[in-house]
Amino acid sequence: MQIHQLSACELAAAIRSHQLTATDAVNACLQQIDRHNDRLKALITVCRDRALSEAQLADRALDSGEPLGPLHGVPFTAKDLTPTAGVRTTYGSSIYADHVPTQDELCIARLKAAGAILLGKTNTPEFGLGAHCTNALYGPTANPFNADYSSGGSSGGAAAAVATGMCFLSQGTDMGGSVRTPASFCNVVGLRPAAGRIPRRRKKLLWDYLETDGSLTRTVEDAALMLSVMSGEDWRDPLSVGRSAWQKPDSSGQSSKSLLASLRVGFSAGLEIAEIDAGVVQAFEQAIAHLTPWCHTVDATHPDCTMAQSSFEVLRAALLWHKMQPLYQQHPDRLSSSVRWNIEQGRGILAETLLAAEAQRDQLYLNFLNFFEQYDVLATVSASIPPFPHDQTEILEINHVPQRNIIDYLTVTYTVSLTGLPAISIPCGQLPSGFSIGLQLVGRPWGETALLAIAAAFQEILQPVSSIEIPSA
């Protein structure tokens, strides 16, 4: 196995035991960037010299016996929506083409404090709005398995970078499915933690939890390790909660078998409110069939989610209008048509409409709580569609059924976002086209520890049917 194919957990252990150096790891990633990035456009900014310099410092610290963080020497990338001190952060917009923040966002600062080395910034749609990971600054991020197709929005650059070994870990963001959809498209793991688990200082509204920071990784164990570093209370985010516990799964597999023997799973591809591509449904059902013999209970059931679409559309639109109205008024001609459409949906929303949407969100959350009285985890698809060609800018229909608007294809993921519950996407199978699909697992409130244990157990069962080779550059 080559260095870039190691998991982050394996790499961190190899560096600590002096089997590899941080410089080895950074160079391995840079070689993959040189091999793939021109074709895939996953990284919009590469910190080559800076990363190599930090790797040398990390190696000297290891040699001198200094205390080491859990990610010492592990290269990572950050989504280009997330501020990084001294490194260009464009938000995928020409308006910010030369913007260089002076301070790291908290999750980035915590990754660095744990010893991780920032390798670059990953591509994103303009301000993270759009089905396709593309912008006027850099163009589209391609799918690693077929460069004519999309990597998914909006953390598509992060997913493609992780899938091809351009980095070992990647920070992403997720409002309606922006971590989970690219994870499904690119055959990697995408974690959206519970609301407040990773504090955010950059929120426009402190009590907002629709958008969270998350991670793209190659394994569930890597996602758990990354979360343990990024999580933890910060009083500047009033929703923040304590650090997520993480314990390496029992290598004998006995703990996984014991967990599965009592596990109660409810499943529904689209929660009866989302149109799901027929091929995706078939692959999802095959994955459920693989899991069924291992679990105590696997039932076709789900919470009542009928109020989710109207609630999310109103709350998201109102939030975007509040956040982005100044940009919309100052630079209307420099925003893409998709960004303008998203912002315009929030204009003129009445207080009565907004509060009704909040009440619907309350009911949705209570419906999920009732579901979790009977079941330990909910399984759905991670994306309603397979990867689509670059020339398809929006998702307007699924199974020849017209979608109500350009965000309707995210229904199965944004429904979970509304609840604030933790969710993870793991690879679970392949389509006849050769693309992967992801299985979305939803856990109890602040239940990442249990959710990650379940996901790790499922990962082992599904690995034989979800392994796909990256084509040569």
pLDDT surpasses 70 at 251: no
Which residues is 266 bridged to in the sheet?
A: 299, 378
For the chain, give the percent of residues with pLDDT over 90. Answer: 94
Closest CA to 472 of 146, 169, 4, 150: 146
Mean pLDDT of the chain: 96
HEC string of 137-187? CCCCCEECCEEEEECCCCCHHHHHHHHCCCCCEEEEEECCCCCHHHHHHHC
**What is the rounded average pLDDT of the residues 146-154?**
97
Closest CA to 41 of 180, 108, 137: 137
**What is the rounded average pLDDT of the residues 161-168?**
98
Amino acid at 173: T
Local confidence band at 248 (pLDDT 50, 70, 90 cut-offs): low
Strand ranges (DSSP E) for 42-99?
Answer: 43-46, 75-79
pLDDT surpasses 60 at 249: no
| Polymer length of the chain | 473
Catalytic machinery residues: 79, 154, 178
Q: Which domains does the chain have, with CATH numbers?
A: 3-466 (3.90.1300.10)
At 310-367, the pLDDT tens digits run 999 999 999 999 999 999 999 999 999 999 999 999 999 999 999 999 999 999 999 9
pTM over 0.85: yes
